[in-house]
Structure 1
């Protein structure tokens, strides 16, 4: 089985993809920097998990 992500991470990521789809790429490092600019995220760990999920979804969409 794969890793299970929290609903907060999935929900937040999908909302951000809907709003800023043209800014996100399939590169994790780029997505981290974009997240710093477009969203206020409380912790580094949460930011990284959201960026990772966004990267995963962008790869699926391509």
Structure 2
């Protein structure tokens, strides 16, 4: 029989590992969200800039 102490230790290690994995997953998601926001903002800026230049050219 395995002593309950070892079982407890294994459980605690498993909880720590799963906690770390969850933390890493959330950090990864945060990074992806930040990158996505930057990309979206950059694209919007480019589109707005192009629209402005196009309207500027049309008005001239």
TM-score tier, shorter chain, comes to: 0.3 to 0.5
Structure showing greater Rg: 2
- Report the TM-score, using the length of structure 1 for normalisation: 0.32
By relative contact order (CA 8 Å, sep 6+), the higher-ranking structure is 1
Greater fraction of residues in helix: 2
